[in-house]
Amino acid sequence: MEAIRWEHDALLLLDQTRLPASEHWLRYIDYREVSQAIKTMVVRGAPAIGIAAAYAMVLAARESIHNNADFPAAMSQAKAALAASRPTAVNLFWALDRMECCWKACGPDLSRLENEACTIHLEDIRMNRAIGEAGAALIRKGARVLTHCNAGALATGGYGTALGVIREAHTQRKVSMVYADETRPLLQGARLTTYELLQDNIPVTLICDNMAGCLMAQGEIDLIVVGCDRMAANGDFANKIGTYSLAVLARHHGIPFYTALPSSTIDLAIPDGSHIPVEQRDGNEIACFAGRQTGPAGVRTWNPSFDVTPHELLTAAITEQGVLYPPFDKALHDHLL
C-alpha cells in the first residue's frame, strides 16, 4: 500500500480524508497546494509529510526555473510556506533542510533535486522495513497488540513504523490480534489503520479510545506500539493525542510500551518534550462528528493534535538501527553518531 507517488512532473497523493469510503488520488503541480494538502491532512503522518514536502520543493524548483525567477529566493519562499503547514512532526523540517542543502550545493539542477526527494522517499521505506524487523524480535508468539492512530504505510513512504513492526510480526505468525484505537477526533485508527490491516489480512479489532484501559485491565493486551512525530534528546516524544494516556495505563498494568520511529523523527536540538511545538487544530473537529454538529453551537473547545509522553513511561524506542533502551539520552546520542 502507498499514499505518495511521484510522476516526474507531478506529485500524486491518496486523499486520506476520504478513506476508507473511496480511494481517490489527487494530482499536484504547485507546491502551495501541497502545503495546503499537508494542512488539511490529505497527506498525514510524520514521515509522509516530510516526503510530500521534499517532492513539493521539486515542484517549486521547476516553477522557479520556468519563470526565470530568482532561484534561491523562490526556494526559500517555498520552504517557508511548506514549513508553516504543520508544526509538530520534525520529519517535515528534516526533509526541507535536506532539500535546502541540495539546492544550495547544486543550484537549479532539477534532476539532482528530484533525485534527492526520491532518495528521501526510498530511504524511508528501507528504514520502515528495518524498524519492522527490529520490533518483531520483541514480540512473542500469540501476542495481542494495541496501537493508536495510524503509523502505517499511509503515514510513511510505505510499510509503516508501528504497523511495520506489526506487519513483520504477523509475517512471522506471532500476532493473534491487533486492537486499533479509533483515535478521535479524526479517526485515523478507525478509518486508516483497520483499512490497512484488513487489506493485509492481519486480524484487527476496532475499539473506541476510552475502551483501551478496560481491555488492559482484563489482561487482553500484551504490548503497545505507537508511532512518533518528534522525539527530544531525552526520549520524551510527541505522538497523536491519547498516546500519553495509553502510556500511563500501560505503566499501571505492567504492559510494555514502545514507540517505533526512523532517525528522521529524532530531534536532538531540543532537550526535552516541553520544547515540542504541539499543533492546535480547529475546534469544529471535536464539536462535530461525521459532518454533524454534536456540541452546542459556539461551545469552547480545546483540540491539541498531539501530546507528549515522558521518556520515563517508554519501555524502548524501535529504530531502523535497532532497539534503544533507557537511559534514552545516551542511547539517542550514541544512535545518531
Q: Is the Cα torsion angle 85, 90, 91, 93 positive or negative in sign?
A: positive
**Shortest reach from residue 222's CB to ligand MRU, in Å:** 20
CA 192 to chain centroid = 12
47 binds ligand MRU (CB under 6 A): yes
46 binds ligand MRU (CB under 6 A): yes
170 binds ligand MRU (CB under 6 A): no
**Shortest reach from residue 241's CB to ligand MRU, in Å:** 8
193 binds ligand MRU (CB under 6 A): no
For every residue of 61-98, DSSP letters joined together read HHHHHHTT--HHHHHHHHHHHHHTS-SS-HHHHHHHHH
Q: Please check whether residue 56 is in contact with residue 78, taking contact to mean a CB–CB distance below 8 angstroms.
A: yes
229 binds ligand MRU (CB under 6 A): yes
Active site residue 124: no
x-or-dash string of contact with ligand MRU, 51-90, rule CB under 6 A: --------------------------------------x-
H or E element, residue 307: strand 306-309
151 binds ligand MRU (CB under 6 A): yes
Which one, 88 or 234, has the nearer CB to ligand MRU? Answer: 88
The cell for 195 is 483499512
Q: Which of 85, 188, 264, 319 binds ligand MRU (CB under 6 A)?
A: 188
Q: Which of 234, 305, 315, 319 binds ligand MRU (CB under 6 A)?
A: 305
Cα gap 21→68, rounded to integer Å: 43
How many of the chain's residues bind ligand MRU (CB under 6 A)?
17
Q: Please check whether residue 97 is in contact with residue 83, taking contact to mean a CB–CB distance below 8 angstroms.
A: no
Cα gap 259→252, rounded to integer Å: 18
239 binds ligand MRU (CB under 6 A): yes
240 binds ligand MRU (CB under 6 A): yes
Q: Please check whether residue 260 is in contact with residue 227, taking contact to mean a CB–CB distance below 8 angstroms.
A: yes
158 binds ligand MRU (CB under 6 A): no
Which one, 240 or 311, has the nearer CB to ligand MRU? Answer: 240
Which one, 74 or 197, has the nearer CB to ligand MRU? Answer: 197
101, 119, 124, 142, 303 from 129: Cα distances, Å: 26, 15, 9, 22, 33
156 binds ligand MRU (CB under 6 A): yes
322-324 sheet: strands from edge to edge:
204-207, 175-181, 143-147, 223-226, 257-260, 316-319, 322-324
Residues 313-332 that bind ligand MRU (CB under 6 A): none
Q: Please check whether residue 205 is in contact with residue 178, taking contact to mean a CB–CB distance below 8 angstroms.
A: yes
Catalytic residue among 124, 181, 229, 236: 229
Cα gap 230→240, rounded to integer Å: 11
Name the segment binding ligand MRU (CB under 6 A); options: 69-77, 99-107, 224-232, 307-315.
Answer: 224-232
Q: Please check whether residue 270 is in contact with residue 88, taking contact to mean a CB–CB distance below 8 angstroms.
A: no
Name the segment binding ligand MRU (CB under 6 A); options: 38-46, 199-207, 315-323, 325-333.
Answer: 38-46
**Shortest reach from residue 89's CB to ligand MRU, in Å:** 6
Cα gap 8→59, rounded to integer Å: 9
Name the segment binding ligand MRU (CB under 6 A); options: 39-47, 112-120, 204-212, 295-303.
Answer: 39-47
Q: Which residues have a catalytic role annotated?
A: 229
Chain contacts with ligand MRU (rule: CB under 6 A): 44-47, 89, 149, 151, 155-156, 161, 188, 227-229, 239-240, 305
